Amino acid sequence: MSSNGSKAVSIRARLNHPVIDADGHWVEFSPVVSEALRRIGGDRAGEGFRAVEGLINRILSFSDDERRARRSAQQAWWSFPSAKTIDGATALFPRLLYERLDELGIDFAVLYPTGALGIAFNPDHETRRATCRAFNTYIAQEFGPLADRMTPAAVIPMDSPEEAIAELDYAVGKLGLKVIVMASLMRRPIAAVERKSPQAARFAFWYDTVGLDSEHNYDPVWARCQELGVAPTFHSGSRGFGLRTSPTNFVYNHIGHFAAAGEAVCKALFMGGVTRRFPQLNFAFLEGGVGWACNLYADLIGHWKKRSLEALEATNPANLDRKLLNELAARYGGPAVADYLRGNGGEIDVTRITRDNAPAQLDDFAACGITRAEDIRDLFAANFYFGCEADDPINAWAFNRKFNPYGARLNALFGSDIGHFDVPDMSQVLPEAHELVEEGLISAADFRDFVFANAARFWSAGNPDFFRGTRVEKQVKAEIGARA
């Protein structure tokens, strides 16, 4: 494919560093992929892949009234890039994308699946495992010849630590895949409802964030990731959850749903102390942008200043001078309070005000071992990375040390999201990202971190050989060496 005249090519030519796409997508050509999975893993694997597409098509087939009755969220229709046929074909066929990378101004791409993001959530244990195993085998075969310019993400089910570790060992240890996308926000039954009404139990569930108050202890999974040299990435969404259940309006359901899912897992990993116990392990949350992360980072600091063990003393009910409180109530409370005091022995029941029924563990930050506010910066800004789409102007917030408390810069990762409806013209992805530089919102050095250095650090931290044999090997080696 010719790359002459492309603005993306022009921008790339002016850069003194590569461009790494940390979150591109390919759209599985389902007739071929489902049959390939059936051949590799049997009928269960083929059925598990088709089930994801079937569920979405079923919901789309409902009328608005049917979706209202079921409270099913409207799904995406016309979700395939079709304005330029070449882009549609590029989404379907990774070999074509490989040929066009120079035209798009991209040196190396990490590619996530589309439909297969859902295969790890199949409620049937055997089908889920068979489908993930077959899919990971398939992508290892298909992407192997393209490894110098792109690498695919293996799908890791997380229903239990044992299941996750088994697939990690196979996908990474045996197949040699270097990128993983882990399930999160798995539906779990509510035990009290199951006991009281088994028939109603399937309608009552909670979402497991795999970091805090989880059904299982996932530390063995994080430990195995560290041993294998792979960084956990999450690409879960929350469309159809909670307040994103419009039966008629897809945009309403779509806005913010990746951010909400990312925040839930990120916050759980942090508050659950995972970054404290595994300080060398990086985590990435994709396609939700970085605005929510900047907000969460600031909120964690603000809450620690008010809800740390030391700060809680300001709200300790033992501090109350009850005699003085009763005197002030009698003087200023008015007739209604006076009546209350006469009927209550002249005293206010302070438990009604202070909620003096504290848990045994008073320190919500105990697991992450925060002793000063700067600890939050050191744990949050070091371990977490955030996938950002090219056209999101909020990406600039990640680099603004004046806005982020304690001068933090958050790790924004450039993600093209090519292959999906929000990228109608693949050639415009890099130019859209570069607009932040042209408009003076970030510096050229910030842009370098955004499209190259952050991705290089993210994947090289656990696996120094991640980029060996790729087009960007030399530049990544120089970058990591310079920062060592």
Residue ending a domain, choose from 292, 327, 354? 354
What pLDDT is recorded for position 200? 82
Looking at 292, 323, 354, the residue that finishes a domain is: 354
What's residue 2's pLDDT?
A: 45
Q: Are 257 and 346 part of one and the same domain?
A: no
Is residue 363 in some structural domain? no
The pLDDT score that the predictor gives to residue 4 is: 45
Task: Indicate the burial class of 71 (C-beta count within 10 angstroms; 0-12, 13-18, 19 or more).
Answer: exposed
User: Is residue 1 in a domain?
Assistant: no
Residues 22 and 118 in one domain: yes
Q: Are residues 71 and 183 in the same domain?
A: yes
Q: Are residues 109 and 225 in the same domain?
A: yes
Q: pLDDT, tens digit, for every residue of 231-266? A: 999 999 999 999 999 999 999 999 999 999 999 999
Assess whether 154 and 127 both reside in one domain: yes
User: Looking at residue 436, what is its pLDDT?
Assistant: 97
Please check whether residue 156 lies inside any domain of the structure.
yes
For residue 108, being part of any structural domain is answered with yes
Query: What pLDDT, on the 0 to 100 scale, is given for residue 483?
Result: 73
Tell me: do 272 and 186 sit in the same domain. Answer: yes
Give every CB contact of residue 458 below 8 A, 6+ residues apart in sequence: 22, 231, 282, 284, 385, 411, 413
DSSP letter (8 states) at residue 439: T
**Are residues 204 and 98 part of one domain?**
yes
Instruction: Examine the domain organization and report whether 289 and 323 are in the same domain.
Output: no
**Would 364 be classed as within a structural domain?**
no
CA dist., res. 408 & res. 378, Å (int):
9
Residues 349 and 245 in one domain: no
Boundary residue ending a domain (323, 354, 385):
354
Which CATH number is 258's domain given?
3.20.20.140
- Per DSSP bridges, beta strands 205-208 and 186-189 are antiparallel
Look at residue 346 and tell me if it is in a domain: yes
Question: Is 434 part of a structural domain of the chain?
Answer: yes
- Structural domain boundaries, residue 235: 7-306+370-483
What was the pLDDT predicted at 484? Answer: 61
179 strand-pairing partners: 153
What pLDDT does 482 receive? Answer: 78
Based on the fold, state whether residues 240 and 274 are members of the same structural domain: yes
**In this structure, is residue 2 part of a structural domain?**
no
- Are 98 and 24 contacting, i.e. CB atoms less than 8 angstroms apart? no
Closest CA to 60 of 44, 79, 88: 79
| Secondary structure E strands in 209-325 | 232-234, 283-285
Residues 342 and 279 in one domain: no
Q: pLDDT truncated to tens, each residue of the chain (484 aa)? A: 444 458 999 999 999 999 999 999 999 999 999 999 999 999 999 999 999 988 888 999 999 999 999 889 999 989 888 899 999 999 999 999 999 999 999 999 999 999 999 999 999 999 999 999 999 999 999 999 999 999 999 999 999 999 999 999 999 999 999 999 999 999 999 999 888 888 887 888 999 999 999 999 999 999 999 999 999 999 999 999 999 999 999 999 999 999 999 999 999 999 999 999 999 999 999 999 999 999 999 999 999 999 999 999 999 999 999 999 999 999 999 999 999 999 999 999 988 888 878 898 999 999 999 999 999 999 999 999 999 999 999 999 999 999 999 999 999 999 999 999 999 999 999 999 999 999 999 999 999 999 999 999 999 999 999 999 999 999 999 999 877 6
Other CB atoms closer than 10 Å to residue 332's CB: what's the count?
8
Same structural domain, 329 and 296? no
Report how many domains make up the chain.
2
